[in-house]
A and B are shown apart, each in its own frame.
Chain A
Amino acid sequence: MPRGHAALGVVVPLLALAVWQGVTLAGMVPPSMLPPPAEMVRTLAEMAGSGELAQAVGITAWRLAWGFVVGAAAGTVLGALCGASALARALLDPTVQALRSVPSLAWVPLFILWLGIFESSKTTLIAVGVFFPVYLNLMSGIAQVDRKLLEVGVVHGYSRLRRLIAIQLPAALPAYVVGLRSGLGLGWMFVSAAELLGASNGLGFVLDDGEQTGRPERVLVAILLFGLCGKTTDMALAAAGARLVRWQDNAMPVQGQRALQPA
């Protein structure tokens, strides 16, 4: 992306900030509903100074990391299995798809009953959210690998397992990266849900606490932090993923690479 275009991305947030400041200065919305941006900055500084901010972000990130690792690992194993084996797909995929159509929040009461109200139920809920996109993308990525590439493995005497490792898994990498990014996005959604439903710490708790105590600035700070954290982790994963799939011949070549002219 050209540098000028990257700068365009901040235009809308800055504009929104200006409108927000204008609306609150003009008294069009009472501060109890929408505090001015300066109030939010003050709250953010207070939370940072007291250590509450670091603690809340740290705990939420820790929960997300656990849920993401568990969900992505399960999605990877099952996705690879169902992608590589038609038998496994016929056996397992209908059940997984049926479970996918259950709204994820519907699992909450069951997880709380089974696992209690502490960390395990939260991690499990996040893992469920992460699992499905990782599973679906990897499975379809493997199953839809070009037959013509697989034939190259066949003519070189590759066994089925070697074809999976040497051809299908690398070819499915772009789809897998998309699955991980979708999973991470859902992970952030589910960590906020899990913390809203019952937590005594974390960013979701800050949200809930702000609502319960009538402090919208705390709610807005938590929303801002969720947005910033989600965007940062997605950018990190996208950058790592882009390195892994830089071989893709897409419309936006990796910087520093250029197509060669015919010899």
Chain B
Amino acid sequence: MAHEVHIAGLAKTYGSQRVLGPLDLHLEAGTITVVIGRSGCGKSTLLRCLGGLEKPDAGSIRIGAGQLRREDIGYVFQEPRLMPWLTVSRNVAFGLRGHPARDDRVAEALAIVGLQQAASLLPKQLSGGMAQRAALARALAPKPELILLDEPFSALDPFSRESLQQHLLHLYRHYRTTMVLITHDMDEALTLGDRILVMQGPPGKIVADLSRHDTKARLREALEPGGRGPPGPQAGAERPQTPLRARAL
């Protein structure tokens, strides 16, 4: 089951500098929300707060009915962060300790990202794209209710990036999981996002709330320093449900 995410008054300060917020957001269940912005604007901090890696100074995050366990959130980092001493399949099983259907879940996740043949390899034997696919499989294997992706394709070559983007959309169709993806790539935002939130900062604030139907020029305009988009940051709650994209991939 996909969950909606409510963020109210979220703020984070490092030392004396406020890097995020205060931020109010409502992310619809079963959609891909892309947060795009320049480096250092606070978008990763927002995701880290959502994933429990940073403790916000103020505000609240409510996911679904508030009963979500940490294990129900999948997190894909910018780098694969595979445990170098574990094989691919054991890396994918990292979040499944003691799970009764562990082997099935691992096989399923590996099949989704197309890494069945690499199950017994060590991370050092993988290419960058394969390692990131393994990381994606690790996040998927526990069948999370919410998947957070922090620039997961930014370090990859264009071919691997496109392939992984397709895998992600395949996943999305498969599970209809709520996803939040951070990126600084406009094409990626328009390809993947149902909804595209443009962030500027610090302190990180949503300055435009776009959809995948918007043009790249519109997105570029919103990304310019001081750029503003028509719908405000809180307008997401009122937006109609974005239909699942029907593009041929």
Please list the residues of chain A having a beta carbon within 8 angstroms of any beta carbon in chain B.
148-149, 151-152, 154-157, 166-167, 170-171, 173, 245, 247-249, 257-263
CB distance from A170 to the nearest CB of B (A): 5
Task: For the complex, give the distance between the alpha carbons of A247 and B69 in Å.
Answer: 32
Chain B residues near A151 (CB-CB < 8 A): 53, 77, 81
Does the CB pair B83–A263 fall under 8 Å?
A: no
Majority SS of interface residues in chain A?
A: loop
Task: For the complex, give the distance between the alpha carbons of A151 and B150 in Å.
Answer: 13
Please list the residues of chain B having a beta carbon within 8 angstroms of any beta carbon in chain A.
51-53, 69-71, 73, 75, 77, 79, 81, 83-86, 94-95, 114, 118, 121-130, 142, 160
Chain B residues near A166 (CB-CB < 8 A): 83, 94
Instruction: Take A155-B51, A173-B85 as given contacts and tell me if A249 and B124 are in contact as well, using a CB distance cutoff of 8 Å.
Output: yes
Does the CB pair A152–B81 fall under 8 Å?
A: yes
Task: For the complex, give the distance between the alpha carbons of A258 and B125 in Å.
Answer: 7
Task: For the complex, give the distance between the alpha carbons of A257 and B51 in Å.
Answer: 36
CB distance from B17 to the nearest CB of A (A): 21
Chain A residues near B95 (CB-CB < 8 A): 156-157
5 further A-B contacts with Cβ under 8 Å, apart from A148-B77, A259-B125, A260-B126, are A156-B94, A167-B83, A245-B85, A257-B125, A260-B121
Does the CB pair B127–A263 fall under 8 Å?
A: yes
CB distance from B86 to the nearest CB of A (A): 8
Chain A residues near B73 (CB-CB < 8 A): 155
Chain A residues near B128 (CB-CB < 8 A): 262
Task: For the complex, give the distance between the alpha carbons of A259 and B131 in Å.
Answer: 13
Query: Would you list 23 pairs from A and B whose C-beta atoms are within 8 A, ordered by A residue?
Result: A148-B79, A149-B81, A151-B81, A155-B52, A155-B53, A156-B70, A157-B69, A157-B95, A247-B84, A247-B85, A247-B124, A249-B124, A257-B125, A258-B125, A259-B125, A260-B118, A260-B121, A260-B130, A262-B129, A262-B160, A263-B114, A263-B129, A263-B130
Count of CB-CB pairs between chains A and B under 8 Å: 72
Instruction: Take A249-B124, A262-B127 as given contacts and tell me if A170 and B53 are in contact as well, using a CB distance cutoff of 8 Å.
Output: no
Chain A residues near B125 (CB-CB < 8 A): 257-260
Please give me the 6 A-B residue pairs with the lowest Cβ-Cβ distance, nearest first: A262-B127, A249-B124, A157-B70, A155-B75, A156-B95, A247-B85
Does the CB pair A262–B69 fall under 8 Å?
A: no
Does the CB pair B71–A156 fall under 8 Å?
A: yes
Does the CB pair B83–A149 fall under 8 Å?
A: yes
Task: For the complex, give the distance between the alpha carbons of A257 and B121 in Å.
Answer: 10
Instruction: Take A151-B53, A155-B53, A156-B71 as given contacts and tell me if A259 and B124 are in contact as well, using a CB distance cutoff of 8 Å.
Output: yes
Does the CB pair A262–B130 fall under 8 Å?
A: yes
Determine the residue in chain B with the shortest Cβ distance to A261: B127
Does the CB pair B127–A260 fall under 8 Å?
A: yes
CB distance from B170 to the nearest CB of A (A): 16
Determine the residue in chain A with the shortest Cβ distance to B124: A249
Does the CB pair B52–A170 fall under 8 Å?
A: no
Does the CB pair B129–A154 fall under 8 Å?
A: no
Partner of B53, one of A154, A173, A245, A263: A154
Task: For the complex, give the distance between the alpha carbons of A151 and B73 in Å.
Answer: 13
Task: For the complex, give the distance between the alpha carbons of A230 and B49 in Å.
Answer: 53
Does the CB pair B84–A152 fall under 8 Å?
A: no
Does the CB pair A170–B85 fall under 8 Å?
A: yes
Determine the residue in chain B with the shortest Cβ distance to A259: B125
Task: For the complex, give the distance between the alpha carbons of A257 and B126 in Å.
Answer: 12
CB distance from A189 to the nearest CB of B (A): 32
Task: For the complex, give the distance between the alpha carbons of A249 and B83 in Å.
Answer: 12
Task: For the complex, give the distance between the alpha carbons of A170 and B85 in Å.
Answer: 7
Chain A residues near B114 (CB-CB < 8 A): 263
Determine the residue in chain B with the shortest Cβ distance to A146: B81
Does the CB pair A248–B52 fall under 8 Å?
A: no
Determine the residue in chain B with the shortest Cβ distance to A263: B130
Task: For the complex, give the distance between the alpha carbons of A260 and B115 in Å.
Answer: 13
Chain A residues near B77 (CB-CB < 8 A): 148, 151-152
Chain B residues near A245 (CB-CB < 8 A): 85
Task: For the complex, give the distance between the alpha carbons of A258 and B126 in Å.
Answer: 10
Does the CB pair B71–A152 fall under 8 Å?
A: no
